Structure 1
Amino acid sequence: MRLALSGVGVRIGSAPIVMECDLAVADGERVGLVGPNGSGKTSLLRTVYRALDPFAGRVALSGDDVTDLSQREVARRAALVAQDSTPDFDFTVEEVVAMGRGPWLGAFESATGGGDAKVTAALERVRLTEHRARRLSTLSGGERQRALVARALAQESPLLLLDEPTNHLDVYAALELLELVRDLGRATLCVLHDLNLAAAYCDRLYVLHRGRIVADGPPAEVLSPELVRTVFGVACTHLTHPVTGGLLLAFSPHQGASAAPVAALGEGVNR
Structure 2
Amino acid sequence: MTRLQLAGVSVELGGVPIVTECDLEVGDNERVGLVGPNGSGKSTLLRTVFRAVDPVAGRVALDGDDVRSLSQRQIARRAALVHQEPVTDFDFTVEDIVALGRAPWQGPFDRTGPADHDAVMNALARVNLLDYRSRQIGTLSGGEKQRVLVARAIAQDSPLLLLDEPTNHLDIHAALDLLELVRTLERTTLCVLHDLNFAASYCDRLYVLKAGRVVAGGPPADVLSPELVRDIFGVECTHLTHPTTGQLLLAFSPTPPRTPDPASGNVPLGEKMKSRVGQ
Preserved CA contact (<8 Å) 1:95 1:112: no
Alignment correspondent of 1:251? 252
Preserved CA contact (<8 Å) 1:35 1:208: yes
Segments of structure 1 that go 5 or more residues without pairing to the other structure are: 258-271
Preserved CA contact (<8 Å) 2:221 2:248: yes
Aligned-partner residue type, residue 21 of structure 2: E
Question: Structure 1 residues 115, 183: closer, same or farther in 2, change over 3 A?
Answer: closer
- Counting helix residues as a fraction of each chain, which structure ranks higher? 2
Alignment correspondent of 2:267? none
Q: Are positions 1:78 and 2:79 aligned together?
A: yes
Alpha-carbon offset, residue 107 of structure 1: 1.4
For structure 1, which segment, 81-90 or 50-59, has the greater mean C-alpha deviation from structure 2 after superposition?
A: 81-90
CA distance in 2: counterparts of 1:208 and 1:107, whole angstroms: 40
CA distance in 1: counterparts of 2:147 and 2:23, whole angstroms: 30
Alignment correspondent of 2:14? 13
Alignment correspondent of 2:123? 122
Question: Structure 1 residues 255, 76: closer, same or farther in 2, change over 3 A?
Answer: same
Alignment correspondent of 1:176? 177
SS at match of 1:245: coil
Preserved CA contact (<8 Å) 1:84 1:168: no
Instruction: Give the structure-1-normalised TM-score.
Output: 0.92
Alignment correspondent of 2:241? 240
Alpha-carbon offset, residue 180 of structure 1: 0.6
For structure 1, which segment, 112-121 or 96-105, has the greater mean C-alpha deviation from structure 2 after superposition?
A: 112-121
Alpha-carbon offset, residue 110 of structure 1: 4.3
Alignment correspondent of 1:96? 97
Q: Aligned runs of 1:1-271 on 2, under 5 Å?
A: 1-88=2-89, 90-110=91-111, 116-255=117-256
The count of residues paired between Structure 1 and Structure 2 equals 257
CA distance in 2: counterparts of 1:44 and 1:74, whole angstroms: 16
Aligned-partner residue type, residue 59 of structure 1: V
Preserved CA contact (<8 Å) 1:225 1:238: yes
Which structure: larger Rg? 2
Aligned-partner residue type, residue 10 of structure 1: V
CA RMSD after TM alignment: 1.6
Aligned-partner residue type, residue 189 of structure 2: T
CA distance in 1: counterparts of 2:21 and 2:114, whole angstroms: 42
Preserved CA contact (<8 Å) 2:59 2:66: yes
Deviation per CA, 1:102-146: give whole Å up to 9, x if none.
000011024599971000000000000000000111111111000
Aligned-partner residue type, residue 60 of structure 1: A
Preserved CA contact (<8 Å) 1:97 1:113: no
Alpha-carbon offset, residue 154 of structure 1: 0.4
Deviation per CA, 1:122-176: give whole Å up to 9, x if none.
0000000000000111111111000000000000000000000000001111001
Alignment correspondent of 1:269? none
SS at match of 2:167: coil
Alpha-carbon offset, residue 90 of structure 1: 3.2
SS at match of 1:53: coil
- After superposing on structure 2, the runs of 4+ consecutive aligned residues of structure 1 that deviate more than 3 Å are 87-90, 110-115
SS at match of 2:231: helix
Alpha-carbon offset, residue 86 of structure 1: 2.7
SS at match of 1:3: strand
CA distance in 1: counterparts of 2:223 and 2:14, whole angstroms: 32
Aligned-partner residue type, residue 200 of structure 1: S
CA distance in 2: counterparts of 1:111 and 1:171, whole angstroms: 37
Preserved CA contact (<8 Å) 2:32 2:206: yes
Aligned-partner residue type, residue 184 of structure 1: L
Preserved CA contact (<8 Å) 2:206 2:217: yes
CA distance in 2: counterparts of 1:112 and 1:141, whole angstroms: 30
Preserved CA contact (<8 Å) 1:93 1:134: yes
Question: Structure 1 residues 232, 75: closer, same or farther in 2, change over 3 A?
Answer: same
**Percent identity (aligned):** 69
Preserved CA contact (<8 Å) 2:10 2:19: yes
Preserved CA contact (<8 Å) 1:98 1:112: no
